[in-house]
Amino acid sequence: MNKNWELTEEQFNRLLEWLDPDRETAAKNYGLIQLRLVRFFAARGCVNAEDLADKSINVVTAKLQGLGTYVGDPALYFLGVARYVYLEHLRDINRPPPPQPPSPDPDPDPNLEICLRRCLVELPPEDQLLVVDYEEGEKQARIQKRRQIADNLGITINALRIKIHRLHQQLRKCMDQCLEELPAH
């Protein structure tokens, strides 16, 4: 469900109708339910209790068409939904932040470039070109380039990925061996 979802007038009217056929009573019930939901979240230490209450109301409103057979106090149904919204909120706030991307090495090992050049030369010329072309570009341009390479070779994109993976394995093995042979800087 979209977190920024807003009730339309039609949806709000349907919600009030579900709460009570009398419009004034329904509006009063809505206010009491909203207050009860805010208290529910505030009592659990949620600093955004109003937003979570609104989200709970939005979830119930979105499910109204399927609630035609619901019998009972609507406030209890809202509280049941609020419990799930609260659990989702806890899961979201307890999720660890994504890891920071590694910072570029300020002093790259000059041996890496030496070994990469040496290992690329050991590949057949068409594979050298393929590896370099495959890694060229950024984002969408890279994706298009890879599709074009696969088309030119008459293979699927997955077959291209497998071929590149195998070439990378060869290069990695060669580079490991090369780095062991060269003195460390």
Higher pLDDT, 18 or 6: 18
Query: Is 50 exceeded by the pLDDT of residue 1?
Result: no
Distance CA 43, CA 40 (A): 5
Structure tokens belonging to residue 132: 């370099």
DSSP state of 66: G
Q: Which two tokens mark 134?
A: 């495959």
pLDDT in tens, 33-91: 999 999 999 999 988 999 999 999 999 888 877 666 667 788 898 999 999 999 999 88
Confidence of residue 2 (pLDDT cuts 50, 70, 90): very low
Condensed to tens digits (0 to 9), the pLDDT of residues 158-173 reads 999 999 999 999 999 9
Stated pTM of the model: 0.50
Q: How many angstroms separate the CA atoms of 34 and 107, rounded?
A: 58
Of 57, 55, 65, residue with least CA distance to 4: 55
Distances (CA, A) of 97 to 3, 94, 183: 20, 9, 39
Identify the pLDDT of residue 153: 92
Assess contact for 59 and 1: CB atoms under 8 A.
yes
Residues 19 and 29: beta-carbon distance below 8 Å: yes
pLDDT of residue 160: 92
Q: How much is the pLDDT for 51?
A: 92
For the chain, give the percent of residues with pLDDT over 70: 90
Q: Supply the DSSP symbol for 96.
A: P
- Residue 170 has what pLDDT? 94
Output the pLDDT for position 69: 66
Q: What is the pLDDT of residues 113-160, one digit of tens each?
A: 889 899 999 999 999 999 988 888 888 888 888 999 999 999 998 999
Residue type, 135: E
